[in-house]
Amino acid sequence: MPIHNADIAAIFEEIADLLEIQDANPFRVRAYRNAARAMGELGRDVKSLLEHDGKLPKLPGIGTDLDAKIHEIVETGKCALLERLHKELPPAITELLKIPGLGPKRVKALYHDLDVQTLEQLLRAARDGRIRALHGFGEKTERNILDAIESHINQARRFKLVVAAQYADTLITYLGKASGVKRVVVAGSFRRMRETVGDLDILVTADADSKVMDHFTAYDEIAEILSHGPTRSSVVLKSGLQVDVRVVNEESYGSALHYFTGSKSHNIAVRKLALARGLKINEYGVFKGQTRIAGETEESVYHTVGLPYIPPELREDRGELEIARAGHLPHLIELADLKGDLHAHTKATDGRNTLKEMALAAKAMGFEYLAITEHSRHLTVAHGLDPQRLVKQIDEIDRLNEELQGVTLLKGIEVDILEDGSLDLPDSVLARLDLVVGAVHSQFALSRTKQTERILRAMAHPYFTILAHPTGRLIDQREPYDVDMLRIIREAKKRGCYLELNAHPERLDLLDTQCQMAKEEGVLVSINSDAHNTLDFSNLRFGIGQARRGWLEKQDVLNTRTLKALLPLLKATM
């Protein structure tokens, strides 16, 4: 792990904060603060100074003790004192310090006087009005803290859809076991298939005497119950995921589902349409005066405002209401429309299964074809293929295809796009493949112009077929690299190339709006699993969710074609 001056400064700053919260000697606290500042202001990189000279120059405010700490941090990446302080104080103290407006003095007061140790406790103290009573706080500060935590929780604690789905699945099964429960459905951003979700919003219909809420709050994965009532309860699971459960009557199911599915801006737009017709929509139904005129199904809610049913993935207030009113809603792609998968790996590189195992798993998905696209040699961490090993695999696939029934393996490669836009393998071997999937796996930080040119040059290559994970982002881990996606899409159109929507749940790359862009420009998208083992095909459902959020229909997606229709499309690149 590379240690920079800023990392050392941050460690010293945190030590100073934690010492202050512990009421340590103020001189000691100040010594760490000064050291943090000295590190932050130093013009030379401490690590390279140490590597070069073996010792640090004399720095203002850095005595022998701190000098030793700097050595320790540079050499081990850690600091024993900080680790000890973390053990002595509740772990969430560090998190509290990250809330804007909460310095060590305030955190100390909250911790000592209100026994606030976690963000959730802080949130409750703020909601209960207990913070304003503290010396040096006041009502305005309390309000600011409340806003800061809410936005902090919303930003910091979003869960990838695949992760939320795991928690949702077990919880739904559990809730379904309570007596009198009829339906259990997850609404909110989860139902809209957002890439990440802030919390789970679960809607339950149940008999009037059902004890489903007591059953819910007895769930053994709960870390904290935030509220518990007969029709609404909120908890935080041990994973940190918040879950809101609402119980409604069967007759309100449709309007409640519509309300809690959101998005909020979509709901507001629908309510506006209702108001214009003299109707009122809420989670219990659609009302004309005192009379309920709809609400049992979502369709009935939409019909009262003159609209057809709008699929959840489109409910983002991005023009779906106007298009629905005009009768032009897309017929969104479904998982069952896929006829194959054009990106997968085997044991030959960093996958886990053999060619045959992958082929049979694809067949079990109902696929006609699966393209094997191993990494190329430049990607050494994945044991990428050189020309000899690729030729060997080509022969193996030819042999296996004679034996396989009902599924065909296509010969491909996920070839690295090198920094200059050339491909990592020679034409002579690429020429023998059914398709070439090109990918950027290095040099993410090139300028927008250079990165775009690099990809355009790769696509101009005669054998290039599909641009893999076009933005390179990893959700919550790596920002997209900077490219002009519209230029790339237009070049793909010109060259007869395609763009991948990589369905790996950490990628989901293309983004939804870029799917729309590809569709508008007439470029087909290939929804690929990037499977590294036989189970990974199940990730395709997240790719389908993303494609639906991008308004894609069956005809917009390359791998909805039958094998017979696909092969000429793969050859059509120029």
Which one of residues 14, 39, 110, 188 is an interface residue with ligand DGT (CB under 6 A)? 188
- Positions in 199-228 near ligand DGT (CB under 6 A): 199, 201
SS3 of 228-282: the string is ECCCEEEEEECCCCEEEEEEECHHHHHHHHHHHHCCHHHHHHHHHHHHHCCCEEE
- Positions in 74-103 near ligand DGT (CB under 6 A): none
Q: Could you say whether residue 267 binds ligand DGT (CB under 6 A)? A: yes
Helices 264-276 and 253-261 meet at what angle, rounded to 10? 130
- Longest CA span, the chain: 84
Q: Could you say whether residue 452 binds ligand DGT (CB under 6 A)? A: no
CA quadruple 112, 240, 143, 202: dihedral sign: negative
Q: How far is CA 56 from the centre of its chain?
A: 43
Q: Could you say whether residue 545 binds ligand DGT (CB under 6 A)? A: no
**Quick one: which segment of 5-13, 86-94, 131-139, 187-195 binds ligand DGT (CB under 6 A)?**
187-195
- Give the tokens for residue 61: 């405010």
Pairing of strands 199-206, 181-186: antiparallel
Q: Where are the alpha helices (DSSP H) in 262-378?
A: 264-276, 298-304, 320-325, 355-364
Q: Could you say whether residue 272 binds ligand DGT (CB under 6 A)? A: no
Compare residues 512 and 530 and give the one whose CB is closer to ligand DGT: 512
- Give the tokens for residue 152: 């902090």
Compare residues 267 and 560 and give the one whose CB is closer to ligand DGT: 267
Nearest distance from C-beta of residue 414 to ligand DGT, angstroms: 32
What's the CA dihedral at 310, 311, 312, 315 to 10 degrees? Answer: -40
Q: Which does 369 bind (CB under 5 to 8 A by kind): ligand DGT, Ca ion, none?
A: none
Which one of residues 13, 244, 337, 530 is an interface residue with Ca ion (CB under 5 A)? 244
Specify the amino acid at residue 340.
Answer: G
Nearest distance from C-beta of residue 362 to ligand DGT, angstroms: 33
Compare residues 451 and 546 and give the one whose CB is closer to ligand DGT: 546
| Cα–Cα distance measured from residue 119 to residue 97, given in angstroms and rounded to the nearest whole number | 10
Q: Which does 263 bind (CB under 5 to 8 A by kind): Ca ion, ligand DGT, none?
A: ligand DGT
Cβ–Cβ contacts within 10 Å for residue 26, how many?
A: 10
Nearest distance from C-beta of residue 247 to ligand DGT, angstroms: 15
- Positions in 234-263 near ligand DGT (CB under 6 A): 259-260, 262-263
Nearest distance from C-beta of residue 130 to Ca ion, angstroms: 24
Compare residues 245 and 518 and give the one whose CB is closer to Ca ion: 245
Asked whether the beta carbons of 550 and 336 are under 8 A apart, the reply is: no
Phi, psi of 282 (to 5 degrees): -140, -170
- Give the tokens for residue 471: 């933005």
Nearest distance from C-beta of residue 242 to Ca ion, angstroms: 7
Q: Could you say whether residue 197 binds ligand DGT (CB under 6 A)? A: yes
Pairing of strands 242-248, 232-237: antiparallel
Point out the residue whose Cβ comes nearest to ligand DGT: 262
Nearest distance from C-beta of residue 187 to ligand DGT, angstroms: 7
Phi, psi of 294 (to 5 degrees): -165, 170
Number of residues that bind ligand DGT (CB under 6 A): 14
Compare residues 109 and 168 and give the one whose CB is closer to Ca ion: 168
Q: Could you say whether residue 201 binds Ca ion (CB under 5 A)? A: yes
Q: Could you say whether residue 188 binds Ca ion (CB under 5 A)? A: yes
Compare residues 104 and 198 and give the one whose CB is closer to ligand DGT: 198
Q: Which does 411 bind (CB under 5 to 8 A by kind): Ca ion, ligand DGT, none?
A: none
If 0-12 CB within 10 Å is exposed, 13-18 middle and 19+ buried, where does residue 281 land? buried
Compare residues 152 and 194 and give the one whose CB is closer to ligand DGT: 194
% helix / strand / coil in the chain, to the nearest 5? 50, 15, 35
- Positions in 295-334 near ligand DGT (CB under 6 A): none
Nearest distance from C-beta of residue 250 to Ca ion, angstroms: 22
CA-nearest of 120, 109, 83, 137 to 21 is 109
Compare residues 161 and 456 and give the one whose CB is closer to Ca ion: 161
Nearest distance from C-beta of residue 189 to Ca ion, angstroms: 5
| Cα–Cα distance measured from residue 490 to residue 474, given in angstroms and rounded to the nearest whole number | 24
Nearest distance from C-beta of residue 546 to ligand DGT, angstroms: 15
**Interface pattern 93-112 for Ca ion (x via CB under 5 A):** --------------------
Residues that bind ligand DGT (CB under 6 A): 188-189, 194, 197-199, 201, 259-260, 262-264, 267-268
